[in-house]
Structure 1
Amino acid sequence: MALYGVIGDPIAHSMSPLMHTSAFRESGVDATYVKFHVKKEDLPQAIEGIKALGIRGVNVTVPHKEQVMELLDEIDPLAEAIGAVNTIVNENGKLTGYNTDGLGYVEGLRNMSKEPLEGKSMLIIGAGGAAKAIYYTLASLGVRVIDVTNRTKERAEKMIGACPFQLDSTSLTLEEAEKRLQDYDVIIQTTSIGMFPHIDESPLVMHEVKQGSIVSDIIYNPLETSLLKQAREKGAQTQNGLDMFVYQGALSFEKWTGIFPSYSIMKNTVLQQLGG
């Protein structure tokens, strides 16, 4: 039986084991997937343990996505550009790092959009790790207009300035972004604002959102954040973070096994756990 897992601190809340176990079962893969609680100071030993124990692959979650890069044998170019790894593949003791967060997000967004994403005008709320993965991935795939708004404008400017892909980007204060929501076809919320238990909070007021636009929030607990509720009531299409979570997991699964698993099985497993 092959062994896979997820490393992070904290890790008890992770729904990845349930999701991947259902995918292994449905795909007929003889494998098990477990949580590994790894503190920051123990990360180097944990990575050596992956090799020593023959663990075929792991997901990496906070706070290890950046620090783990220096401990791996090879980094995929997109993960290198993003500066974070969320998936490790062990091929006969050689550990390669990938980032499926941005690609997972984009896969879910493509399913919502009736038109190609490349021609869309986009706004990203936030400038942290998730924002960077989504921003760089969209840019790498040819989206050319992506503005960024963040509580600290300088952090948004830094993320834009470091992007290795050519595109048109402006950094905005939250106040500026609120006034310009009509300019965007897609608005992507990447911060933790509005996550359970602070479900009444929202990073922006969505009064000016364009009818028919897509408003996406990477949070999936609750399934509808305050920001999404506001956007829906103004006539926007809305998407929670469940698609991103499931697709990034499915892409990791594919890296490990060569099989793209059943998206619906994985999503339903998570929905049942969330009580949705």
Structure 2
Amino acid sequence: MATSFHDLFSRLRPGASAHAAGIARGYGATTARTITATDGLTRLRCASLLKPLYAWAAAEHLDTARWAEHAEPAVVVSSNADTLGLWLSVGPHVILDGIARRTGVAWSPPSADLSRFGSVEVAADEVATAYAALAQAALAGDPVADTVLGWMRQVGAGQTFGAREVAGVADAAVKCGWYGAADETTLRTHAVVVLPQAGTDVTVAVALTAQPYTVEKDRQVYRDNVAKGLPVEDVHEAAGGELLRGLLATTLRELGAV
């Protein structure tokens, strides 16, 4: 029997949060459909989930070569250094204003430290709306949006937490974000999937998770590994991978995409 959002949420540990959202829409025969489900906090820090949107908005403010030099690794391998190269040189307010102009979704930069691009707080339905706008812009002929979406198709399996397998589409555009800050007692693991469609039709699924991570010894090892630049995806997979895939699968099923 297929898993429901109720089933997934009923298994959450105390202190956990989970969001799911999806959009299917288009000018042609597609009937517009939206899905939203939330348990726990209504907004979560975005980790690296928004990097493709940052890249899209930054392009108009940089020469093409410099933009591509930083934007491609920011999306394809989730490079934090290259994301900062865009985020700080263009400016957080400018990038977020650019996203709002293109998508209708307005986010605010973190107030404590503007350099923390991953501390922007979002809801899953907002993320789905923004990525649907990116995808439709690409399909309508926006060359920058098309390039960014192409980079999302190149994101390696080691950074997708099985999202493409859930979608059942080998060339689905995917971006994930994962982090657990020192001031948090959760690990955040997020994903967005954009399915290839015909015409200007798009299907987008988003899952956001924040799983409790309260053992101080484990948290210290995690922070040490992050500081050394070591990968921590396996920790996020253990904490939230199954939940993330369940949320994506349920969303795509409710959208009629799988």
Pair in the same fold by TM > 0.5 = no
TM-score by length of 2: 0.31
Of Structure 1 and Structure 2, the greater helix share is in: 2
